[in-house]
Amino acid sequence: MEDFKSILYPVALTDISPKVAPYVVTLARQLGAQVHLLHVLRRFDWFVDTYVSDPPEPDFKRIASDFESQVLSQAKQKLKAFHKKYLSDIQVANRAVVSGTHYKQILNYVKSEGIDLIIMGTGTPVQKVIFGSVAEKVSRLASVPVMLVK
């Protein structure tokens, strides 16, 4: 069996997140593993580039960038509060908020940080229909084991 010393918990900061946390805590304690928390935001300029053909007034690209910066700042605060509330009694090696394509950012983080195991929630059926299943893509493409929590 593998020696899992580094666990990635991609935190969606949705209703599923507190349901996944106890599994992360239990496994981290049992394995003596450190946990990495990662929250991924969708890039807002993608929407502007896709749907706004000419640079109109006001400058939507600048507005989207400013808004993304504010959301990024608030996401960092929410992730910090989530860590404190649900994961305060385990070793958290890193807490990061990034923007981009969810599954790609998760897979990049696994590779760059030498993660041994991913534990993540599966989301709701509505989220899967609208956004596709990030969990499905990660579990299919990851080079490390993935534990999915319904």
Closest residue by Cα to residue 37 from 103, 100, 91:
91
Query: In a 10 Å sphere around its CB, with 0-12 CB exposed, 13-18 middle and 19+ buried, how is residue 10 labelled?
Result: buried
Indicate which CATH number applies to the domain containing 54.
3.40.50.620
Model confidence pLDDT, tens digit, residues 119-137: 999 876 655 554 458 888 9
Looking at residue 49, its pLDDT comes to 54
Looking at residue 131, its pLDDT comes to 47
Looking at residue 48, its pLDDT comes to 53
Identify whether 121 is part of a domain.
Answer: yes
Model confidence pLDDT, tens digit, residues 8-29: 999 999 888 999 999 999 999 9
Amino acid present at 22: P
Model confidence pLDDT, tens digit, residues 53-103: 565 566 666 666 677 788 889 999 999 999 999 999 999 999 999 989 999
Given pLDDT bands bounded at 50, 70 and 90, which one contains residue 150?
confident
Identify whether 132 is part of a domain.
Answer: yes
Identify whether 136 is part of a domain.
Answer: yes
Closest residue by Cα to residue 142 from 99, 100, 110:
110
Identify whether 10 is part of a domain.
Answer: yes
d(CA 126, CA 2): 35
Closest residue by Cα to residue 146 from 131, 127, 133:
133
Q: What is the mean pLDDT of the chain?
A: 86
Domain count, the chain: 1
Domain of residue 98, residue span:
6-149
Identify whether 18 is part of a domain.
Answer: yes
Phi, psi of 35 (to 5 degrees): -115, 140
Identify whether 66 is part of a domain.
Answer: yes
Amino acid present at 72: L
d(CA 102, CA 99): 8
Identify whether 1 is part of a domain.
Answer: no
The answer to whether 39 and 121 have CB atoms below 8 angstroms apart is no
